[in-house]
Amino acid sequence: MTSPELDRYVSAKWDEDIVPQLVDYIRIPNKSPMFDKDWVAHGYMDAAVALMEKWAKAQPVQGLQVEVVRLEGRTPLIYLEIPATGDSTGEDTVLLYGHLDKQPEMTGWDADLGPWTPVLRGDKLFGRGGADDGYAIFGSLAAIAALEAQDLPHARCVILIEACEESGSYDLPAYVDHLAARIGKPSLVVCLDSGCGNYEQLWCTTSLRGLAGGNLAVKVLSEGVHSGDASGVVPSSFRVLRELLSRIEDETTGKIKLDGLFVEVPPARIEQARKVAEVLGNEVFDKFPFLDGMVPMSDDLAELVLNRTWRPALSVTGVAGMPPLESAGNVLRPFTAVKLSLRLPPTLNGKLAGELLQKTLLENPPYGAHVELELEKASAGWNAPAMSPWLSQAIDDASQAAFGKPAMYMGEGGSIPFMGMLGEKFPGAQFMITGVLGPHSNAHGPNEFLHIPMGKKVTACVARVIAAHHAASLRGETTGVAAQADSGERHGDHGCC
């Protein structure tokens, strides 16, 4: 399907309707519960939900039902249901997913930008959450509306927009269970919360890393003391913490030392990484804002792709116990604490990884220091099942129609907890995981932006794939496990996106 009318509809919808909504959404500081413990009292999450709910109810989609579901003590969830159009596909369902909660502010924004200050600059909309992942509900409904405007049929669709993805999606399982009968058994899952290697073709995600992390604290004194008096007698909490981290990571190379945190990378994913390296070249690392003279951790581009998608890696993302430089006196501090973010290979058991992390850091503390690890996350990643022929063809056709280039397949270094959960609950489903987070878009960091032309084209691609799903359903090709098994060998180089 190469309907130019569909592309024109989507483009106009973005310009006239979606971008203004995203501008208002960016202004709302609806940080995920992990970063705003008083989110209920502050009311920002409810404000974001209300904005999206009002917009959704006004959309020209036949039979659209919009509901905000609220379970006691949990973040809200927006549930949308759209009945099938055209020839009957029965209960066959497309499930579309996104989230509306945001990461915290982060420092380093340009002087004329800010996390809650939407700025349109050329084709880019700057501000926190527009691309991660505020556009998801707008893009999902716009794709369905575009089909209906062109009298193109689609199967029954369900859209879930959660509000705690950035905190690990801990509320989502309860909602999926609560809504199980209404959701049904999707044969296609579309997730609009991932990345793209460039803005020139459709990118589909084949794997996501897991995550184990939390707050590590090392305490050596009940209060700070004169550093000249105590140093050489009292071990520095910073040095003890550094020693503990060296149990996990080689500080010279950055390689993780614990064998239990590695998995064997599937050969198909290794070949996939090589293809990505060939297509992107130095864009594999150029998308990051390196300082002059800095170089990446390897000069092998395929290895860099595998490092960020299939290998464990440790980051320290926060620190406590250290005063600002301007108020730091000659004091040996009583404690040092850091927030750890340990990315895990997609197929590693997240719970076991968390237990290994605790055992490694807490056993035999140096000098008898008081060491605590508050484990906040220990979640597994996701590796896509093999792709059915109809979906592989639909995705490539959609990319050619929207971009004039074939689709690309790549693992992502981040985590989307929902994917692993859905993979377990719906083993017969196919997956299209895509997104607009491309080079320099800087999700979670300063100067985050949404690339508007990419948003338009991804929306049009989703519409085309949903239309292809309807045709495949009528042919009996979306029946799940059997279709996947039949196509596994043939499409193993892609996996499912």
Q: CATH number of the domain that 321 lies in?
A: 3.30.70.360
pLDDT of residue 288: 92
DSSP 265: P
Domain assignment present for residue 496? The answer is no
pLDDT of residue 496: 37
Residues 298-325: tens digit of each pLDDT = 999 999 999 999 999 999 999 999 999 9
Q: 217 is in which domain, residue-wise? A: 210-265+314-379
β-pairing, 408-412 with 203-208? Answer: parallel
Give the pLDDT band of residue 421 (cuts 50, 70, 90): confident
74 and 109 assigned to the same domain: yes
300 and 337 assigned to the same domain: no
Domain assignment present for residue 344? The answer is yes
Residues 158-183: tens digit of each pLDDT = 999 999 999 989 999 999 999 999 99
pLDDT above 70 coverage of the chain, percent: 96
Domain assignment present for residue 495? The answer is no
Domain assignment present for residue 494? The answer is no
Domain assignment present for residue 157? The answer is yes
Contact 211, 415 (CB under 8 A): yes
**Number of CB atoms found within 10 A of residue 15's CB:** 12
Cα 464 from Cα 448, distance rounded (Å): 28
Residue 52 CB partners (closer than 8 Å, separation 6+): 21, 25, 78, 100, 137, 138, 161
218 and 201 assigned to the same domain: no
Give the pLDDT band of residue 487 (cuts 50, 70, 90): very low
Give the pLDDT band of residue 1 (cuts 50, 70, 90): low
Among 342-356, 435-449, 471-485, the minimum mean pLDDT is found in: 471-485
65 and 191 assigned to the same domain: yes
151 and 204 assigned to the same domain: yes
362 and 320 assigned to the same domain: yes
Mean pLDDT of 395-404: 97
Domain assignment present for residue 74? The answer is yes
Q: What is the length of the chain?
A: 497
Q: Which of 379, 402, 418 is the last residue of a domain?
A: 379
Residues 228-281: tens digit of each pLDDT = 999 999 999 999 999 999 999 999 999 999 999 999 999 999 999 999 999 999
Q: How many domains does the chain have?
A: 3
Q: Which of 279, 310, 341 is the last residue of a domain?
A: 310
| Mean of pLDDT over the chain | 94
Q: Which of 283, 310, 337 is the last residue of a domain?
A: 310
Residues paired with residue 92 on neighbouring β-strands, in sequence order? none
Closest by alpha carbon to 5, among 470, 464, 487?
464
Give the pLDDT band of residue 2 (cuts 50, 70, 90): low
Peptide bond into 151 cis (omega under 30): no
Cα 367 from Cα 234, distance rounded (Å): 9
How crowded is the C-beta side of 93, counted as CA atoms within 13 Å? 21
Whether residue 130 is predicted with pLDDT greater than 90 in this model: the reply is: yes
247 and 131 assigned to the same domain: no
Domain assignment present for residue 274? The answer is yes
Cα–Cα–Cα angle for 267, 484, 422, rounded to 5 degrees: 90
Domain assignment present for residue 492? The answer is no
Residues 36-89: tens digit of each pLDDT = 999 999 999 999 999 999 999 999 999 999 999 999 999 999 999 999 999 999
368 and 390 assigned to the same domain: no
Closest by alpha carbon to 150, among 235, 203, 85?
85
Mean pLDDT of 13-36: 98
DSSP 229: H
Give the pLDDT band of residue 494 (cuts 50, 70, 90): very low
54 and 146 assigned to the same domain: yes
pLDDT of residue 209: 96
452 and 391 assigned to the same domain: yes
- Per residue, what are the HEC states of 47-97? HHHHHHHHHHHCCCCCCCEEEEECCCCCCCEEEEEECCCCCCCCCCEEEEE
Cα 153 from Cα 466, distance rounded (Å): 9
338 and 348 assigned to the same domain: yes
pLDDT of residue 417: 78
CATH number for the domain spanning 33: value is 3.40.630.10
Q: What are phi and psi of 55, to 5 degrees?
A: -65, -45
pLDDT above 90 coverage of the chain, percent: 91
292 and 357 assigned to the same domain: no
Contact 42, 116 (CB under 8 A): no
Give the pLDDT band of residue 422 (cuts 50, 70, 90): confident
